[in-house]
Amino acid sequence: MDKFIIQGGRRLRGEVAVSGAKNATLPIMAACLLADGDCRLLGAPDVTDVRHLSVLLEELGVEVRREEEGLCLRVINRENSHARYDLVRKMRASVCVLGPLLAARGCARVAMPGGCAIGPRPIDIHLRGLEALGAEIDLKSGDIIVKAKRLKGAEIFLGGPFGSTVTGTANIMMAATLAEGRTVIECAACEPEIVDLANFLNAMGARITGAGAPRMTIEGVDNLQGITHRVIPDRIEAGTFMIAAAITNGEVKISGARLDHMMAVVDKLRQIGVIIEADDGGAIVSSRRGITPSDVTTQPYPGFPTDLQAQLMALLCLAGGNSIVTEKIYPDRFMHISEMARMGANIRKEGPTALVLGAGRLVGAPVMAGDLRASAALVLAGLAAEGTTTISRVYHIDRGYERIEEKLAALGADIKRISEKE
Ligand code: EPZ
């Protein structure tokens, strides 16, 4: 297993390009199960989650090739519709194959994804939506088995105790594209990744309106054709690099960032003293004065994204005063607190809220990555800490960031990847 060694205290300067969005690429890859012909996904990032889904799709009869510009996917046989547990458990978003398999083949068997470090990851809303479209659902030795001769359009509510569901909305959208008649989804997720998926499906011949708003309508069609599509830039990677610039008091141009996808993030960072200037097709980020304490609550899009909560917390550790961070999407998503405490952070968790007592400084230490975004937060803390930080189990980071250490080193960070003996 690899680890990172970071010497803190270097100000980041220069320009970094944002990769394609992992969370747009994954459902769009699943949507290729619906297509006749080749689908080309330009800008699909080469991260572990994408590689894991590629392995699963190959088992489901899809040929997946990595090309210069991205991925090329083509359905070559429809024999196997069973997504096995040992593949699904490695990457929860594999559950996105459920809707397209059901719509394209009339059946699917997909292992229940189980939980992960950020909390239980139920799929009850996904299943309620598929049932509303006429699917028969069974649970057998940990697998979900769904069947339907032809799905029928329906009015479906996708709200749950934490708002809508992103991959649940993706699943129902994809299933509804080939259903008979009209489907209306109420309380659909509004994330830019959902809009990107809808644009991809419409380019294939689907008839989806209202994507990006809580009410979405899908008119069923008979078939969908393979197309070429460029996935949107990764707003979470862009936000991570904005915070990297701010936490090191640097000045970084983040090219390819879609600020219109990041208004809550830009608003919060500006509030706490980060300078963010729009610059042709991206943003220039710096912070010349101290970080002001703040309070932030994670919410469904367009609210502040839960996937940047840990990274912002790392920055708030340097604020001159106390901040409050409330996690409304995954109330247990605070794995990073104990590791940051090893670096001198003083954070107290009270249920879904964390009180960040601005220590004003962080000190390097050996720490362990626990989940994708918590690990990114530890990298950010290491960049700002005095001395050396060693982060083990960086495979967590490789799930969602393309060669993050190379991108940071190109900005002047002193960060090295070394392979740990097993
Ligand atoms: C997507 O996960 C993202 N993953 C997550 O990013 C992101 O944190 C999350 O949306 C929220 O924005 C991908 O897009 C691949 P949800 P998803 O279904 O779809 C509850 C990352 O770091 N819920 O929107 O799995 C659920 O427990 C990852 O890139 C139900 O109760 O999240 C959670 O509390 C981590 N029942 C809330 O809803 C359901 O059937 C939001 O979950 C489904 C979800």
Please, which residues have CB within 8 angstroms of residue 92's CB and are 6 or more apart in sequence?
113, 114, 116, 121
Q: Is the CB of 115 under 6 A from ligand 1?
A: no
Q: Which residue from 92, 167, 396 has its CB within 8 A of the most atoms of ligand 1, so it is best to mutate?
A: 167
Q: In whole angstroms, give the CA distance from residue 188 to residue 210.
A: 10
Q: In whole angstroms, give the CA distance from residue 112 to residue 301.
A: 26
Q: Which residue from 329, 373, 401 has its CB within 8 A of the most atoms of ligand 1, so it is best to mutate?
A: 329
Q: Is the CB of 311 under 6 A from ligand 1?
A: no
Residues in the chain with pLDDT values less than 50:
none
Q: How far does Cα 349 stand from its chain's mean position?
A: 24
Ligand 1 atom at minimum distance from 372 CA = 22
Q: Could you report the per-residue pLDDT of 311-324, keeping only the tens digit for each? A: 999 999 999 899 99
Q: Which H/E stretch holds residue 29?
A: helix 22-31
Q: In whole angstroms, give the CA distance from residue 291 to residue 358.
A: 10
Task: Give the ranges where 178-330 is alpha helix by DSSP (H).
Answer: 192-204, 235-247, 263-271, 309-316
Q: In whole angstroms, give the CA distance from residue 406 to residue 379.
A: 13
Query: What is the 1 CA–ligand 1 centroid distance (Å)?
Result: 27
Q: In whole angstroms, give the CA distance from residue 201 to residue 173.
A: 9
How does DSSP assign 309-365, residue by residue?
Answer: HHHHHHHHTTSSSEEEEEESS-TT--THHHHHHTTT-EEEEETTEEEEE--S--B--
The residue whose CA is least distant from atom 24 of ligand 1 is 165
The pLDDT score that the predictor gives to residue 157 is: 98
Q: In whole angstroms, give the CA distance from residue 296 to residue 316.
A: 10
Percent of the chain clearing pLDDT 90 (strictly above)? 92
The pLDDT score that the predictor gives to residue 422 is: 55
Query: What is the 121 CA–ligand 1 centroid distance (Å)?
Result: 7
Q: Could you report the per-residue pLDDT of 272-306, keeping only the tens digit for each? A: 999 999 998 899 999 877 899 999 999 999 999 99
Q: Is the CB of 396 under 6 A from ligand 1?
A: no
Q: Which residues are catalytic?
A: 116
The pLDDT score that the predictor gives to residue 277 is: 97
Both tokens of residue 142? 């940990």
Using an 8 Å Cβ cutoff, are 310 and 333 in contact?
yes
Closest CA to 72 of 226, 223, 199: 226
Domains located in the chain, CATH noted = 2-19+233-419 (3.65.10.10), 22-230 (3.65.10.10)
Q: What sign for the dihedral angle of Cα 342, 345, 350, 353? A: negative
The residue whose CA is least distant from atom 41 of ligand 1 is 165
**3-state secondary structure at position 368:** strand
Name the DSSP class of 57.
Answer: H
217-236 core/surface letters (b: 16 or more CB in 10 A; e: else): bbebeeebebbebebbbbbb
The pLDDT score that the predictor gives to residue 120 is: 81
Q: Is the CB of 373 under 6 A from ligand 1?
A: yes
In angstroms and rounded to an integer, the radius of gyration of the C-alpha atoms of the chain is 21
Q: Is the CB of 123 under 6 A from ligand 1?
A: yes
Q: Is the CB of 199 under 6 A from ligand 1?
A: no
Q: In whole angstroms, give the CA distance from residue 127 to residue 145.
A: 10
Half-sphere CA count of 132, side-chain side, radius 13 A: 22
The pLDDT score that the predictor gives to residue 118 is: 83
Percent of the chain clearing pLDDT 70 (strictly above)? 100
Q: Is the CB of 408 under 6 A from ligand 1?
A: no
The pLDDT score that the predictor gives to residue 288 is: 74
- In the block, residue with structure tokens 């429809």: 78
